[in-house]
Structure 1
Amino acid sequence: MTIMPNNPPIFSTRKIDLFVPEREELASVLQNGLRYHFVEATVEWVDCPDLTQEPFNLATSGLCGDAVISEISGMSYLFPFMESEFQYSIKRIIKEIYNNFNNGLIIGASICLRLQQQYLVQLGELIMNASFSRITEDDIEIINKSHLAFLDETTGRCALESITNSDPHCYPHGNFFISEGKPGQVLKVRAKKRIGLQFLTALQYSLEKKYSSGIYPKLIGLGGTFVMKSGRARHHIMPYNWDNNLTNARSIHNWLHYCDLDAPLVAVGTLLSSNLVYKDACKFSDLEVCGLTETHFHTFSSNGAAGGHFYTDLESMDPVEYLGYFYPARIFNHVDPRPSCNELIDFTDVMRLATI
């Protein structure tokens, strides 16, 4: 696998062609993998339902068409020091990097700066959900249906607000799935009664074991949405005050604010099969070695009360059940890649501490 450097006017971007398996093989791999970890699990290709309807409420009806996964920078923009000047315009990302799209969908998980009283800045968990259309060569219209989960300083609890502005921004790091948002065949994934790995980890591990190990490893990417229909799940949101001593997983774990949210919960995000495949590809292409985030999903409660960065369901609660719709991406783009901070690539190690 060779990385193709790409240098648009504003961003430094690395581009990789993702491997897209045969449809029935991909469904079989995911289903067989899930059945090690859930009592009930099925994965099949179906006509995509209208995802603008409950419970998903996406900005377009489908996920299909020329799909791309994009990762924005990395956690070293956050840790150990927050570099708040690095904000990215979603409109600019679409306009200058994905200039072959005329209409589409952008969903995913990122971080967003939240202004309080016009002066104070707070970080929140961005639940990106928007459609876009190209008006002219230089202008894009965005219909924004996103949410932001944040820590309410007055109550000390997780809160949620809608973000409807037409020029949304994200603050690294983040992961987005971008497609034409068309109807078509998608992967329908159902899983119930967990007995092993949590839902996202089970999906990622199934892909990694089949495609990203061995002599000729391949990188697979999926994006989409799922609803956790029953149970309770652990999430994090960013604390109100920053700590400049966040240098490893343990210190970040102790700093984050955790909340356990009851189903139903709706999630959007991306899943990639192997960080190691990407790091090896960087070495092979004589590029600075950077990591990618294997799974990154943010959720919000269907009653609009709360949300955050999804970790795992809590096994001690009532039997958990998931329903998801996913679509394979053909390209992975890494915008402004940057080496990790103390080998801290994403929240994987933090997640492990939070679920002990």
Structure 2
Amino acid sequence: MSDVRKTEKFQLYVPILEELCDVLQRGLKNNFADAQVCVVDCPDLTQDPFKFPVKGLCGKPRITDVGGVPYLVPLVKVDKEYNMNTVSKELELPGAFILGAGAVSSKNVGMNAEMMPLVLTEAEGRPAVNSSWFSSINPDNNQCLLEKYSDKFSDCDFGLLANLYACEGKPGKVIEVRAKRRIGEESLVGALRKTMEEHYPDKSLALGGTFLIQKGKAKIHIMPREFSACPLNSNDDVNKWLKHFEVSAPLICQSVMVSRDPGLDLRVEHTHCFSHHGEGGHYYIDTTPDTVEYLGYFMPAEFVYRIDRPSETHEVGRD
């Protein structure tokens, strides 16, 4: 595993849930014709359509930014390998449930691919449960190929980069977000993040969790199976390298967002999605604003941990 000894920890601002709901609802109404945000009991996430390995999003919530885009572009650093069980210990939460957005270990999988991590990490007397998904470009038709990770692999590894939310996986009170009919230019995640940034300009807040796109379609990308042999030096280079698709609801998304980077070179938002009909990847935004419907469950994180921060950084490829 890559060097995690340089882990940096930062305490985030955590408003009371009711206050944060009011703030988020007001902000979302600038971007959606119908938006409701309230505190609810977390639904049982082991049930359809989520099928997570834990019931809830509660218990010592925290986020981490592992590695980073500079390990992917301009040229890949394939030696950057990580393990979810090790990460949980770095987060001071061994046995944590971890979800988010990242990349597979190309050494293990034999190619590059998008990862939708859903891992209940190992604890004393209990092996890890890996319910992750991964999506790649199908070499037969150049379309999306979505696969269950545990159908092919038995490890809990990933590579290059990941933005992760971790908790004890317990039931409890969470923030429920309902939004319909997008009237603004922001994605759901962008609208939530920018609302926090504007309302708390001198603080760093983070949300992690999951949301459903219940109706409509969305724009995603999937990285090619082969890393770029030519340096990707601009966002234009990166976008030409990526494969873009329009995918259909229902989609299960998992997201991490930070209102303001406290000087840790964080990726301020990152969302991946999967489905039970063979589509998934890196989510940008819905493509059907008139009909889209979102339902999400989020928790504010208490800490952010920066693991294996790149010493040389840039802003390319972070969309």
Q: CA offsets per residue over residues 13-46 of structure 1, 9 Å max, x none?
A: 1110010012211000000000111010000001
Q: Is the 8 A contact 1:80 1:341 kept in 2?
A: no
How far apart are the structure 1 equivalents of 2:79 and 2:293? Answer: 40
TM-score (norm 1): 0.84
Question: Which among 245, 262, 266 is matched to residue 259 of structure 1?
Answer: 245
Residue aligning to 2:282: 309
Equivalent in 187, 190, 209 of residue 201 of structure 1: 190
Please state how far the C-alpha of 1:100 moved relative to its aligned partner: 4.1
Partner of 1:76: 70
Are the equivalent residues in 1 in contact too, given 2:84–2:121 (CA < 8 A)?
Answer: no
- Residue 154 (structure 1) shift: 1.6
Distance 1:75 1:240 in 2: 17
State the partner residue of 1:106: 98
Aligned partners of 1:75 and 1:340 also within 8 Å: no
The alignment partner of 2:78 has SS state of: coil
Cα distance between partner residues in 2 of 1:133 and 1:142:
4
Matches within 5 A, 1:115-194: 121-135=110-124, 141-164=127-150, 165-194=153-182
- Aligned residue identity for 1:168: C
Residues 196-235 of structure 1 mapped to structure 2, 5 A cutoff: 196=184, 197-211=186-200, 213=201, 217-235=202-220
- RMSD over aligned Cα, in angstroms? 1.9
Distance 2:242 2:127 in 1: 35
1:80-117, CA deviations, whole angstroms, 9 ceiling, x for partnerless residues? Answer: 1111111001112123x13444x4311110000356xx
3-state secondary structure, aligned to 2:170: coil
Residue 242 (structure 1) aligns with: 227
**Matches of 2:103 and 2:172 in 1, distance apart?**
30
The corresponding residue for 1:328 is 300
Change beyond 3 A, Cα 1:66–1:37: same
Q: Does 1:64 align with 2:58?
A: yes
What is aligned with 1:351? none
Counterparts in 2 of 1:147 and 1:34: CA distance versus 1, 3 Å = same
Query: Normalization by structure 2: what TM-score?
Result: 0.93
Distance 1:340 1:256, change over 3 A: farther
Q: Provide the identity percentage.
A: 34
- Structure exhibiting the larger radius of gyration computed from Cα positions: 1
5+ long unaligned stretches in structure 1: 1-7, 280-289, 349-356
Question: Which residue number in structure 2 is paired with residue 15 of structure 1?
Answer: 9
Q: Which residue of 271, 295, 298 maps to 2:272?
A: 298
Between Structure 1 and Structure 2, how many residues are aligned?
Answer: 314
Between structures 1 and 2, the one with greater strand share: 1
Matched, 1:90 2:94: no
1:33 to 27, 44, 49: 27
The runs of at least 4 aligned residues of structure 1 exceeding 6 Å deviation read none
Post-superposition CA distance 1:297-335 (Å, at most 9, x none): 1101232x121000010136x510000000111000010
How far apart in 2 are the matches of 1:75 and 1:133?
27
The equivalent of 2:37 in structure 1 is: 43
Structure 2, unaligned stretches of length 5 or more?
A: none
Distance 1:330 1:342, change over 3 A: closer
Counterpart contact for 1:291–1:340, Cα < 8 Å = no
